[in-house]
Amino acid sequence: MSQFFIAACIAIAAFAIPAAAAHGYVKGNIEVRHPWTRATPPGAEIAAGYLEIRNMGREPDRMIGASTPVAERVEFHTTTREQGIMKMREVTSVEAPARKRQVLRPNGTHLMLVGLRKPFVKGQRIPLTLRFERAGDVHVELEVQVGGSSKPHH
């Protein structure tokens, strides 16, 4: 009887854990961890997206595109401080150096979802496809967190 109980608990845990642990995505040598965004107010037309890219391979890769059905387009932006002033500019790609990690975060490099079709609500998951030069398409979901969040909630 106790073996059956243990087996049943393991089976239940196997179904429960993927929902909690599904916030990491792997394709080839690329791992995308903790993709997230903030809830948006009604009428917002843009939202920023953040995540961590780990390139476990020996060759560098680059994120060269992204898309989502909830926005007209996804751009890559970087924020820099120039002469004491924060400036944001669009970039064409995001580097994923070999055997290193690249963190997209507030006030740094990030995704900009432009032309939102509807507001983002806390708890929602936003489908997003990231296109890498070598690894190809990586399908992830941005977890929508409370507005004003400054880091992902694990």
In the chain, the domains with their CATH numbers are 24-145 (2.60.40.1890)
Q: What is the pTM of this model?
A: 0.80
Looking at residues 7-23, what average pLDDT do you find? 41
| Interval 55-105: pLDDT, tens | 999 999 999 999 999 999 999 999 988 888 989 999 999 999 999 999 999
Kindly tell me if the per-residue pLDDT of 19 is higher than 50: no
- How buried is residue 67: exposed, middle or buried, by Cβ count under 10 Å (0-12/13-18/19+)? middle
